[in-house]
Amino acid sequence: MNAPVTTQQGVRVTVRGLRRSFLGQPVLKGLNFEVDRGEIFVVMGPSGSGKSVLLKHIIGLETPDEGEILIEGESIQSPGVMDKYRMAMVFQSGALFNSLTVGENVGLYLSEHRLKPPDEIARIVTEKLEIVGLRGQENRSPSELSGGMKKRVAIARALVIEPQLILYDEPTSELDPLMAVTIGDEVIKLNRRIRVTSIVVTHDRDLAFGIADRIALMADGQILTVGKPGEVRSNPHPLIQKFLTADFNHNKERTRL
């Protein structure tokens, strides 16, 4: 009997001494951390701290000036590594193709690489859309979908790859709180279901503390701390506390009263 294709094993990701500058401006200033297999690792920090650039390096879209990204000990820049490990990224905007239907978007990886016959692709597309709660939306155009639906389609598209590593870039930006919770739940459900390693970049504190196994807090191209949510919360570093407790002055005054 053929063994079923296993998707249960996430990969270990190691970031070592990662540096990157754009037009002489340093954006990543020597990052070091490790993400365990099957872990939900959240990179949190203010806008412009280099989080999205970090994600692009991890998936090989950008080349570092110095340092390296290792997937199971192999450099992402080494030939064949991108083919060896299945990796997917959910982009901030969803990055769906407007010229294709939702179903074609989700099945694009399989159809372009001719990995399955068309009827099998249709079945897989339906299955993945069902996982993200969008069954029956196959023939709609991405332009007809709300922001939250687009993100869920993007997650379904990532799932088709049967990834060992999923990267989420600001998965809850531009979403209302209810939809943000739904997306957060999807991230956790997927992680529990297929034990995929998940790296989530966000500046949404609620999402980060709600889903993370560990959190890295980034500011100005550097990692200030890495730890479990409780450890990060109790870290006395003034910048960390400022980011974690930032609130409107009006609210602070109301609390005092």
The amino acid at 89? M
Residue 97 touching other proteins (CB under 8 A): yes
Residue 181 touching other proteins (CB under 8 A): no
Residue 132 touching other proteins (CB under 8 A): no
Phi, psi for 116 (deg, rounded to 5): -140, 155
Residue 122 touching other proteins (CB under 8 A): no
Distance in angstroms (rounded) separating the CA atoms of residues 91 and 151? 8
- If the CB atoms of residues 119 and 247 are measured against other proteins, the closer one turns out to be 119
Residue 25 touching other proteins (CB under 8 A): no
Residue 115 touching other proteins (CB under 8 A): no
Residues 20 and 209 sit within 8 Å (Cβ to Cβ): no
What x/- string results for residues 49 through 68 when contact with other proteins is judged by CB under 8 A? -------x--x-x-------
User: Could you give the C-alpha distances from 50 to 70, 115, 203, 248, in angstroms and in order?
Assistant: 19, 35, 12, 25
Q: How many residues bind other proteins (CB under 8 A)?
A: 19
Residue 243 touching other proteins (CB under 8 A): no
- Helix ranges (H only) for 85-195 are 102-112, 118-131, 147-160, 177-194
Which region, judged by CB under 8 A, interacts with other proteins, from 83-91, 173-181, 184-192, 211-219?
A: 83-91
Residue 92 touching other proteins (CB under 8 A): yes
- Helix ranges (H only) for the chain are 51-58, 81-84, 102-112, 118-131, 147-160, 177-194, 205-211, 229-233, 238-245, 249-256
Surface-to-core class of residue 20, CB atoms within 10 Å of its CB (0-12 exposed, 13-18 middle, 19+ buried): buried
Which region, judged by CB under 8 A, interacts with other proteins, from 13-21, 35-43, 86-94, 195-203?
A: 86-94
Which region, judged by CB under 8 A, interacts with other proteins, from 38-46, 87-95, 131-139, 183-191?
A: 87-95
Residue 91 touching other proteins (CB under 8 A): yes
Residues 105 and 142 sit within 8 Å (Cβ to Cβ): yes
Residue 207 touching other proteins (CB under 8 A): no
3-state secondary structure of 218: strand
- If the CB atoms of residues 97 and 176 are measured against other proteins, the closer one turns out to be 97
Distance in angstroms (rounded) separating the CA atoms of residues 229 and 220? 21
Question: Contact positions toward other proteins, by CB under 8 A?
Answer: 56, 59, 61, 82-83, 87-89, 91-93, 95-97, 108-109, 112-113, 161
